[in-house]
Amino acid sequence: MADVLVGIYGASGFGREVLPLVREQLKTTSAELVFVDDGDVPKVLNGYPVLRYDEFLESDAGEKKLVFAIANSAIREKLAAKCTKDGIRSLSVRADNTVILDEVDVGEGVILCHFTQLTSNIRIGKYFHANIYSYVAHDCVIGDYVTFAPSVRCNGNVVIEDHAYIGAGAVIKQGTPEKPLVIGKSAVVGMGAVVTKDVPPGVTVVGNPAKVFEPRKR
């Protein structure tokens, strides 16, 4: 029986990128690692067992924790709520070369991948994902279940509301203390966008300068 069993919830591409971070973080402990996934996935992935959630719950480990490596923030929230109800705590993950400066407050269950930088005076909510090479600069406020794809550049005095998704390589212009730049709840910023103005809740923007995304009629 494992003393501590840590499940990486989600055995997709991101989950397979996150497991090695967890392995490194827990290398001086006796924790055992598994993937947890209810989808149609092999029983072993990259040398680690894949358990269904009910199998994970039933395992007789002394303590169980989960890392929510699921990019879709709505699913992430749903699963986190279910696991909390089942008495399973989340584990935050922080790659060994993450840079975090002064007065940074980060919520539970976050994943900070390699080369993430959080500078000074930043507030970040729960279950935030920062994929590789992303940064958050001074005086930003990030909500719950926000997702950064790789290489997001979020400059100072920016507010990002809950469930927003920021695509790979996006650049967000700095706001000011009096008027932060605001990315609204559940907004999507497309890969490569250069965001120079507020983005309303629920809206997708793309391009440089970023504009509301209107897919062509086919």
Ligand X SMILES: CC(C)(COP(=O)(O)OP(=O)(O)OC[C@H]1O[C@@H](n2cnc3c(N)ncnc32)[C@H](O)[C@@H]1OP(=O)(O)O)[C@@H](O)C(=O)NCCC(=O)NCCS
15 — phi, psi (to 5°)?
Answer: -60, -40
Smallest gap from residue 215 Cβ to ligand X (A): 5
* Residue 129 known to be catalytic: no
Question: Which residue type is seen at 183?
Answer: I
Using CB under 6 A as the binding rule, whether residue 157 contacts ligand X is answered as: no
Q: Quick one: tokens of 192?
A: 């490569």
* Distance in angstroms (rounded) separating the CA atoms of residues 218 and 209: 25
Residue nearest to ligand X (CB): 190
Q: Which of these segments, 38-46, 58-66, 178-186, 202-210, binds ligand X (CB under 6 A)?
A: 202-210
Q: Rounded to the nearest whole angstrom, what is the least distance from the CB of residue 143 to ligand X in the complex?
A: 19
Tell me how far apart the alpha carbons of residues 29 and 27 are, in angstroms, rounded to a whole number: 6
206 binds ligand X (CB under 6 A): yes
Q: Which stretch binds ligand X (CB under 6 A): 2-10, 26-34, 155-163, 203-211?
A: 203-211
SS (H, E, C) 46-72: CCEEEECHHHHHHCCCCEEEEEECCCC
Q: Would you tell me which residues interact with ligand X (CB under 6 A)?
A: 131, 149-150, 167-168, 188, 190-192, 204, 206-207, 213, 215-216
